[in-house]
Amino acid sequence: MDVVVVGSCMTDLISYVPRLPKPGETLHGERFAVGFGGKGANQCIVSSRLGAKTAMVAKVGNDTFGNNYIQNFRDNGVNIEHVSTTSEAATGVAPIAVSEDGQNAIVIVSGANLKLTETDVQRSEGLISSARVVVCQLEIKPDVTITALKLAKKHNVVTIFNPAPALPHLDPSFYVYSDFLCVNETEAEILTGIPVSCPNDSQKVISCLLERGCKAVIVTLGSQGSVFATHENPLIRHIQATSVTAVDSTGAGDAFIGALAFYLSTMPNLQLEDIIRRSGKIASASVELPGTQTSYQWQKDLPKELFH
């Protein structure tokens, strides 16, 4: 197995609006769509479409949204041996507003995602131990996420941790068990209390996060690209983003992380800088298309040079 993702499944309820509403304001939307989302599932689907052998460890409700989600994993070639259902909660949902300039605002109702237990993850130890990369986020219970990261490191599996939604007082062990910590500028500020508005602001944030025990830190900055540093080379390096016309930025961060997992698992001999640059190009391609998983392209539809 190349990539195992332990995380969330959400059904996206997307409203397209002229602009994001102000507090207390009602706006007329232009159209509505239902799609597949959730940070964990998004990242898994991206890795799978790029060509990685992927598996998901997750929980959905015993309902129409949940049944549809399991079929969606099948349609995308994802191993679902450890995707279980529960009657105790509905499948997670995410109402999303997307503005004409491609910005978004999202509310998540976790539902069945919070019913995924440490026992569920421990049952998947055989799967996790077979992986090259394990990816985790924070849309499931933090204790469940840390269990997955610990299991991965027990078996010397590379870990990617995306602490989103970010928590200001994160258990310090999360950093110790994270080979790659990947955050956007907002999440970086929540974790460290240090604002990041441009690449030059990132050194202090990244140094702070590296000191907490991660081996590498990547901060994504949207149209400004990304910055990264490692424990061995703590001076930040800035990678410019590809210039694109944004249609819908929903899920772009997940595209980046799914691509990162793909490259680390299937092309590990590439330089980290090259892996991050290629992952950024795949994320940039996703913002040119509407929707979340509908914006993720298959390997055959992307430039061949990204895969050599």
Cβ burial of 141 (10 Å; 0-12, 13-18, 19+) is middle
Locus of tokens 């149209």: 223
- How far is residue 197's CA from residue 227's CA, in Å, rounded to a whole number? 12
The model's pTM: 0.92
Q: What is the pLDDT along the chain (308 residues), one digit of tens a residue?
A: 999 999 999 998 989 999 999 999 999 999 999 999 999 999 999 999 999 999 999 999 999 999 999 999 999 999 999 999 999 999 999 898 989 988 888 888 999 999 999 999 999 999 999 999 999 999 999 999 999 999 999 999 999 999 999 998 899 999 999 999 999 999 999 999 998 887 888 889 999 999 999 999 999 988 888 999 999 999 989 998 887 877 877 789 999 999 999 999 999 999 999 999 999 999 999 988 887 898 999 999 999 999 98
Task: Give 238's strand partners.
Answer: 227
Contact 302, 262 (CB under 8 A): no
Instruction: Please calculate the CA angle 74-107-214 and round it to the nearest 5 degrees.
Output: 75
Element (H, E) at 123: helix 118-123
The residue type of 234 is P
**Count of CB atoms situated within 10 Å of the CB of 235:** 9
- How far is residue 234's CA from residue 228's CA, in Å, rounded to a whole number? 9
Length of the chain: 308
Q: Extract the tokens encoding 31.
A: 């159209």
Give residues with Cβ within 8 angstroms of 112, minimum separation 6: 9, 59, 60, 61, 66, 85, 86, 88, 89, 90, 91, 92
Locus of tokens 């050599």: 308
Residue-wise DSSP of 133-153: EEEE-SSS-HHHHHHHHHHHH
Residues marked active site are found at 254
